[in-house]
Amino acid sequence: MKKVLAKFRLYWPLIKSLQTGLLVATGLAGYMSARCPIFNLGTLGGLFVSLVAAISGSTVLNMWWDRDIDAKMGRTQKRPLASGKVDPAEALRVGLTLSVFGVGLALAMDPLYGLIIFAGLFFDVVVYTIWLKRRTCWSIVWGGISGGMPILAGRALGVGGLDWVGAMLSLGILFWIPTHILTFSMRYFDDYQAAGVPTFPSTYGFKFTRATIAISSILAALAMGLSAWGFGMAWGFLRLLGVLSVGLLILAAAMMFKPSERVTYGLFKYASVYMLAAMILVAIEAM
């Protein structure tokens, strides 16, 4: 038992629990936005397990592939794979097992849902991490597309197909991701430079990056608002989403016109709170 617990403690950081939790929350919210019988425990449980497995699996695979650059960055060099605490071959097996299980379960539940989950995993691991991350800073577009897949998949499972609301929800995540990742790449600029990973700040400079963040924040807020209106969110909840969006836009504007380390950090954290709050609103609305 002690051995299993020790192993679990080693692997826990490999799945980036907060990021995985947020993405799982988007998937659940996408499903709930369909107002289908959300208390169908079998479907809800399957959705949760498949999302957790597939997203955790892809995260472990990313960590496995990126272990060399993680070892060069101060922020990530203590991660279990980068520091050599976990055997890479074993991590690869765990990542593949989780991914195959997650996608397999998703396919068994619904072919379209499974296909979207597979697409998310493929875009994240193969296109974003393996193919583009070390070549171009624009790789984050593919990271964003893969990040938008759980909410699209959840919505597709709920409504039984693809619709414009699902696409808009997915776009909301896609545009939110630059706000999250680009503030991160500004905050840890030196780390990414040391690892040789191209980022927006290193390729286009900080000013362009800030403008990109501001524009993507506006687009994320618009997409979230439009999709919430599209699936019939109550007026009061829309109002609250609007208030939270204004907070996001003000911080983005502050970073554009009065940039500072504190504002960058504030926007980075607020963007996560914003997305989590938006997903909670969708879930409460559905209940």
Partner 1 sequence: MPKMAPLDRILLLTTGILSAYQVAVGIDHFDAFPILAYSIAFGVLLVASLLLIILGFEILDLPAVVVISTIIPLALSLGLVWQHLAAWRIPYLVFSILGFLSILITRSIAMRKILPIVVLAVTHGVAGMMIFLLPILLALRGVLEPAFSLVGVGGALIGLGGLLLFFLKAGKPILSRENILRVFPGLLLLMTICFVVGFRFG
Least separation, in Å, of the C-beta of 74 and partner 1?
A: 22
Measured CA to CA, the distance from residue 271 to residue 213 in angstroms comes to 11
Would you state the structure tokens that stand for residue 15, as one six-digit string?
């799945």
Least separation, in Å, of the C-beta of 35 and partner 1?
A: 18
Measured CA to CA, the distance from residue 241 to residue 222 in angstroms comes to 10
Measured CA to CA, the distance from residue 119 to residue 150 in angstroms comes to 10
Least separation, in Å, of the C-beta of 207 and partner 1?
A: 22
| Comparison of 141 and 240: residue with beta carbon closer to partner 1 | 240
Measured CA to CA, the distance from residue 234 to residue 226 in angstroms comes to 13
Least separation, in Å, of the C-beta of 45 and partner 1?
A: 28
Would you state the structure tokens that stand for residue 156, as one six-digit string?
């597709």
| Comparison of 197 and 254: residue with beta carbon closer to partner 1 | 254
Least separation, in Å, of the C-beta of 15 and partner 1?
A: 24
Placement of tokens 């397999």 in the chain: 104
| Comparison of 54 and 271: residue with beta carbon closer to partner 1 | 271
| Comparison of 14 and 32: residue with beta carbon closer to partner 1 | 32
Helices (DSSP H) in the chain: which residue ranges?
2-11, 17-32, 41-65, 67-70, 88-109, 111-122, 139-147, 149-159, 164-187, 189-195, 200-204, 206-230, 235-257, 261-286
| Comparison of 135 and 269: residue with beta carbon closer to partner 1 | 269
Binding positions for partner 1, rule: CB under 8 A: 234-237, 239-240, 242-244, 246-247, 250, 262, 265-266, 269-270, 273, 277, 281
Least separation, in Å, of the C-beta of 260 and partner 1?
A: 10
| Comparison of 8 and 235: residue with beta carbon closer to partner 1 | 235
CA dist 44 → 48, 50, 177, 287 (Å): 6, 10, 26, 13
